[in-house]
Amino acid sequence: MTGTYHIWTIGCQMNEADSRHLASQLEALGFSETNRAEDADLAVLNTCVVRQQPEDKAVRKLTSLGGIKGSRRPGMIIALMGCMVGKREAEDLAEQFPFIDVFTAPSQTDALIEYLLQHDAYSHLNKVQVELADYRLPAVNRDKAITAFVPVTLGCSHVCSYCIIPYRRGPDRSRKPEEVLDEVRSLAAQGIKEVNLLGQIVDRYGFDLEEGINLAWLLKEVAKVDGILRVRFLTSHPAYMDEELIRTVAETEKVCPYFEIPFQAGSDRILESMRRGYTQADYRDIVSNIRRWIPDASINTDVIVGYPGESEEDFLETMNLTEELRLDMHHIAKYSPRPRTLSAKMKDDVSTEEKERRRTVLDERVTKINAEKSQKILGETVEVLVEEFQEKKNRWRGRTPHNKLVFFEDDANRLGQLVSVKIEWAGPFSLIGVPLA
């Protein structure tokens, strides 16, 4: 064995996928996983800076690991990965946390692998192992999961005013289709039943590849892989959600009728300041088009409240759009300025209390909408892909094609199966039912 590793991960599904890739690389190098970062020879923190809270958490974790390294584990290698790592930021962080041994950018693990090869303790690693330890290596399903995230576009070139991602993950680029399909085949052979194709703007997939290769094409190809029962994709940008993609979702059986399309704000004035590239009317048209092809499609969205200059009228437009569209799930974030972004230069003029008030009002409203929509599923039979057995509650947990969370009890082993469940209780965020024979 080469040594032990632990990867601490926070943030989006892209980070989860990156961590899984890195784990596969490290295992190809002979490392084995340990449960606690404190005990590892190599501790990797895969970080997120999309908001202040995850960044603060990563700093706390880093500080605690630095203390352990300084007092009792001087040989421990500490690697910082993910969106905290940008060129400029790495220099500042190296000064602030001199115990960090290596910085490695999101979805680019080369710097870490290179560092290990140069390190005296790992000089025995041979060329074959190193060639195996490539990021493009299909991820290993180490935790015997049923669903997996597969990145298909990396980075983002959109530069929305408030978003730090393009500065940390670089411009967008598509992974080669054969690389993605190899990974999906490998995951299917390891027991994965559902894949979620990932990208900051996943519906841009293929813009830099040969003609005819786009997300609609890729979804159909992934759906053909033996063993894969369901395919999803996220996150979409309204500007690229075209009819071909919607039709593909409607017509490809294994592709779930599920969309994640952030609208972020209901006011055109705020959308323009955010540089989102669409209006409220454009967003409304997309939702109508999806519902024309797939009347019961599930649509999730992201909303930001308290963006600089957001007046009460602007906020009411967000409330009205929410009320009118009645989407399925809303991730609501209170605006917080992120370094180097365009909006960070604007006056953050909505008070903390007002941001919280707007978040609460909107949250109450969407919870009510969720509860009302859920009631319609009561008494229905849904198809659940079972992802996990919850020992403590003695029940199975899975999801419907519309991504609704379902719990049910059953003595039989249902892991990884598609089970028909009759819904007997429906809350705003989950459903409980009984399996049918």
CB of 426 to ligand SF4, least distance (A): 32
Q: In what order do the strands lie in the sheet with 329-334?
A: 258-260, 298-305, 329-334
Q: Candidates 152-160, 308-316, 328-336, 349-357 — which segment interacts with ligand SF4 by CB under 6 A? A: 152-160
Which class for 267: exposed (0-12), middle (13-18), buried (19 or more C-beta within 10 A)?
Answer: buried
Residue 271 found at the interface with ligand SF4 (CB under 6 A): no
CB of 269 to ligand SF4, least distance (A): 18
CB of 23 to ligand SF4, least distance (A): 24
When the beta carbons of 158 and 232 are compared against ligand SF4, the nearer one is 158
CB of 156 to ligand SF4, least distance (A): 3
Residue 12 found at the interface with ligand SF4 (CB under 6 A): no
Instruction: Return the SS3 of 422.
Output: strand
When the beta carbons of 186 and 214 are compared against ligand SF4, the nearer one is 214
When the beta carbons of 18 and 27 are compared against ligand SF4, the nearer one is 18
CB of 56 to ligand SF4, least distance (A): 20
Contacting residue, 3, 54, 166, 416, with ligand SF4 by CB under 6 A: 166
Measured CA to CA, the distance from residue 129 to residue 125 in angstroms comes to: 7
Contacting residue, 159, 371, 378, 434, with ligand SF4 by CB under 6 A: 159
> Around Cβ 409, how many Cβ atoms within 10 Å?
12
Measured CA to CA, the distance from residue 284 to residue 413 in angstroms comes to: 43
Measured CA to CA, the distance from residue 140 to residue 25 in angstroms comes to: 9
Measured CA to CA, the distance from residue 282 to residue 284 in angstroms comes to: 5
State which amino acid sits at residue 84.
M
Relative to beta strand 405-408, strand 395-399 is: antiparallel
Q: Candidates 134-142, 161-169, 175-183, 205-213 — which segment interacts with ligand SF4 by CB under 6 A? A: 161-169
Are the C-beta atoms of residues 252 and 244 closer than 8 Å to each other? no
Measured CA to CA, the distance from residue 93 to residue 170 in angstroms comes to: 19
The dihedral built from the CA positions of residue 188, 194, 198 and 202, taken in this order, carries a sign that is positive
Residue 158 found at the interface with ligand SF4 (CB under 6 A): yes
When the beta carbons of 134 and 242 are compared against ligand SF4, the nearer one is 242
Tokens of 362: 């909107």
Q: Candidates 3-11, 163-171, 369-377, 394-402 — which segment interacts with ligand SF4 by CB under 6 A? A: 163-171
CB of 292 to ligand SF4, least distance (A): 25
When the beta carbons of 276 and 358 are compared against ligand SF4, the nearer one is 276
Measured CA to CA, the distance from residue 404 to residue 86 in angstroms comes to: 36
When the beta carbons of 62 and 156 are compared against ligand SF4, the nearer one is 156
Residue 204 found at the interface with ligand SF4 (CB under 6 A): no
> Around Cβ 161, how many Cβ atoms within 10 Å?
18
Residue 156 found at the interface with ligand SF4 (CB under 6 A): yes
Instruction: Return the SS3 of 425.
Output: strand
When the beta carbons of 60 and 331 are compared against ligand SF4, the nearer one is 331
Measured CA to CA, the distance from residue 240 to residue 257 in angstroms comes to: 17
Q: E strands along 39-140, which residues?
A: 42-47, 77-82, 102-104
Tokens of 20: 């899984």
CB of 158 to ligand SF4, least distance (A): 4
Total residues contacting ligand SF4 by CB under 6 A comes to 10
Tokens of 357: 């008030």
Site for ligand SF4 in 96-135 (CB under 6 A): none
Are the C-beta atoms of residues 313 and 344 closer than 8 Å to each other? no
CB of 90 to ligand SF4, least distance (A): 21
Kindly write out the interface string for residues 211-250 of this chain, putting x where it contacts ligand SF4 by CB under 6 A and - elsewhere: --------------------------x-------------
CB of 201 to ligand SF4, least distance (A): 5
When the beta carbons of 165 and 256 are compared against ligand SF4, the nearer one is 165
Contacting residue, 23, 28, 139, 201, with ligand SF4 by CB under 6 A: 201
Does an H or E element contain 369, and which?
A: helix 352-375
CB of 387 to ligand SF4, least distance (A): 27
> Around Cβ 383, how many Cβ atoms within 10 Å?
16
Residue 160 found at the interface with ligand SF4 (CB under 6 A): yes
Residue 163 found at the interface with ligand SF4 (CB under 6 A): yes
Tokens of 204: 């841009």
When the beta carbons of 5 and 149 are compared against ligand SF4, the nearer one is 149
Site residues (vs ligand SF4, CB under 6 A)? 156, 158-160, 163, 165-166, 200-201, 237
